[in-house]
Amino acid sequence: MYSSFDITRFLALWGAILSSIGLGWNLYRDLHDRAKLKVSAGIKRFVTGADGRAFAIAHNLPVEGVSNQAYVVISMTNVGRRPAMVKGWGGRYRNPVNGKRAFTIIGIDLPKMLKEGEYHFEYTDNFNAVGENVKSLYVWDSSGKEWRLPKRELENLKQEVRTIQRAP
């Protein structure tokens, strides 16, 4: 038969395990309860829809009424659980240009508060923002945290710009 000592020991062990799991879960949840931005970029052109709103579309799509000018468009989406205030965007150079290691693109509608799940995009017609000397593109928030464009996406963007610049 079981003694009261064995049951007490089992219940104490069971309580310690459950409380440890609960503590771990609360720490994980609290540490991940923050804003997180996902950054993407592309070469786009703008077209006005039937409702009067402007849309950014791939630069090589044959759509009626599309602008002739192509732009570097950077999109930021808040995929975290807290709002984020996006302050600006820019990049870093591999080799300094005029003594500077980084550059800033003047935002059109920045700063911008992004709630959970919201997105915003900014654009520039300056293709030097994705030139060969550019090491990274990023946006930064009000706390100074930089959210970078993934390297593979930056390389694809540079290749897209090279293709556009070679075309007649």
For residues 102, 107, 111, 114, the Cα torsion angle rounded to the nearest 10 degrees is -100
Burial level of 149, CB count in 10 A (0-12/13-18/19+)?
A: buried
Q: Give pLDDT tens digits for 63-98.
A: 787 878 888 899 999 998 889 999 999 999 999 989
Q: What per-residue confidence (pLDDT) applies to 168?
A: 61
Residue 2 has pLDDT above 70, yes or no: no
**Cβ contacts of 167 within 8 Å, gap of 6 or more:** none
The pLDDT tens digits for 137-159 are 999 999 889 999 999 999 999 99
> What pLDDT sits at residue 61?
78
Contact 114, 76 (CB under 8 A): yes
* Tens digits of residue pLDDT in 94-134: 999 899 999 999 888 889 999 999 999 899 888 888 888 89
pTM of this structure: 0.75
Residue 12, pLDDT > 80, answer yes
Q: Domain 37-44+71-166 adopts which CATH fold?
A: Immunoglobulin-like (2.60.40)
Task: In whole angstroms, give the CA distance from residue 88 to residue 163.
Answer: 28
Binned at pLDDT 50, 70 and 90, residue 4 comes out as low
What is residue 68's predicted lDDT score, i.e. its pLDDT? 81
